[in-house]
């Protein structure tokens, strides 16, 4: 069972409001839609559990809440983050260093970093073709 945190409580409140007030769905109906037990969904909405990777994606779609918002609330990065960070010794050393230096980035700074990474990847690909 996932650890209950203030963040879990807050995302649970957001999900309950979204489900009932915006989407107009009951708990059992939503649980059926995402393929989980109503009790499990209750635990998630009350901050007592965090969902599996697959369920997180289903919740994002069904509740119409950005997946990134859920990942941040439940401290669940996409699996690609772990894959890249552990692909080789260089990545294992450099990815944490990059992330530590980018810890307080704004959305615009992240976009600039992503653009720079794409240019570097394109340059590398062009040199190997």
Q: For 88-114, how does the pLDDT look when each residue is reduced to its tens digit (9 = 90+)?
A: 999 999 999 999 999 999 999 999 999
CA 29 to chain centre: 24
For the chain, percent helix, then strand, then coil, each to nearest 5? 75, 0, 25
Average pLDDT over residues 24-43: 97
Phi and psi, residue 35, nearest 5°? 75, 40
- Could you say which architecture CATH assigns to the domain 6-74? Orthogonal Bundle (1.10)
Given a cut of 60, whether residue 62 has pLDDT beyond it is: yes
Query: pLDDT class for 5, splitting at 50, 70, 90?
Result: very low
Domain ranges of the chain: 6-74, 79-128
This model's pTM is above 0.85: no
Query: pLDDT class for 47, splitting at 50, 70, 90?
Result: confident
Cα distances (Å, whole numbers) of residue 126 to 63, 89, 96, 114, 129: 42, 24, 27, 18, 5
Query: pLDDT class for 125, splitting at 50, 70, 90?
Result: confident
Query: In angstroms, rounded to a whole number, what is the distance separating the alpha carbons of residues 16 and 44?
Result: 10
CA atoms within 13 A on the CB side of 107: 1
Given a cut of 70, whether residue 120 has pLDDT beyond it is: yes
C-beta neighbour count of 65 within 10 angstroms: 18
């Amino acid at each position: 069972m996932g650890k209950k945190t203030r963040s879990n409580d807050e995302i649970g409140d957001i999900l309950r409001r979204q489900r009932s007030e915006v989407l107009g769905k009951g708990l059992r109906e939503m649980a059926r839609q995402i393929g989980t037990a109503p009790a499990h969904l209750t635990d998630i909405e009350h901050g007592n559990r965090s969902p599996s990777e697959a369920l997180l994606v289903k919740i994002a779609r069904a509740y119409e809440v950005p997946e990134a918002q859920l990942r941040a609330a439940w401290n669940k990065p996409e699996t690609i983050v772990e894959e890249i960070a552990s692909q080789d010794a260089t990545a294992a050393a450099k990815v944490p260093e990059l992330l530590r230096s980018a810890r307080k980035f704004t959305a615009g700074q992240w976009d600039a970093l992503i653009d720079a990474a794409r240019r570097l990847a394109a340059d590398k690909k062009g040199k190997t073709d």
